[in-house]
Amino acid sequence: MSSDKKVVLVTGASSGIGAAIAINFSEKGDKVVLVGRNERKLHSVSQRCKEIGGDTLIIIADLTIDADIKRLAPYGIRVNSVNPGPTKTDFMERLGFDDEKKRQFWNTLQKGTLLNQIIEPSEVADLVLFLASDKAKSITGSSFVIDSGASLKGLLEE
C-alpha cells in the first residue's frame, strides 16, 4: 500500500465497525475525520486514535444526503459501500439483553454463516483500508459484502 498519508472520513465512527476503521487508519498514520451522532463516544474513539499517534477531527452529524456523494468524485474521492454481516459490536449491550440471551443470539447468527463465525470489526476495517489504498484506485461506486458466507448459506442448502 502507498505510504502517502490520506485524510479519511469515517461515518459511524463512534463505535463498533466505524471505530475499528478509524483506529485502523490512525495506526497507518492517516488523518481521520470521525463522523457520528454520539459526541461522547466520538471523543472516546478520538482519544484511542491519538494514543496511537493519530490525528483526528470530530464532526457530529447524521449523514443521510446521497446527492452529496456525486459531488465528491471530481475531487478524487472514491465512495464504496461495505456491507457487513454478523459482526461483534456492542449492539447487544445497547439492547440490555442478559448474558444467556446474548450468547444465544450470537450462536444463532454464527450458525447462519457458511464459515460458522462472527466477523470481527477489524476484519471490516481491513477491507475498508484496502479500498482506500492505491491498490484499489479504480474501485468506486461498488458494494462489498463481508458476511462469512451468510448471504450464500440459504442458497447452497436448498
Identify whether the C-beta of residue 118 lies closer than 8 Å to the C-beta of residue 88: yes
Helix (H) or strand (E) holding 97: none
Mean of all residue pLDDT scores within the chain: 86
Domain with residues 7-65+80-157, CATH architecture: 3-Layer(aba) Sandwich (3.40)
Give the 3-state secondary structure of residue 143: strand
Q: What is the pLDDT of residues 21-64, one digit of tens each?
A: 999 999 999 999 998 889 999 999 999 999 999 999 998 876 66
Pairing state of beta strands 143-146 and 7-11?
Answer: unpaired
Q: What is the pLDDT of residues 88-127, one digit of tens each?
A: 888 767 778 888 998 998 999 999 999 999 999 999 999 9
The number of residues in the chain equals 158
Please report, for residues 83, 84, 123, 132, the alpha-carbon distance to residue 22 in angstroms, rounded to integers and kept in the order given.
Answer: 17, 16, 13, 12
- pTM, rounded to two decimals: 0.73
Strand pairing partners for 145? 83
DSSP one-letter string for 7-71: EEEEETTTSHHHHHHHHHHHHHT-EEEEEES-HHHHHHHHHHHHHTT-EEEEEE-----THHHHT
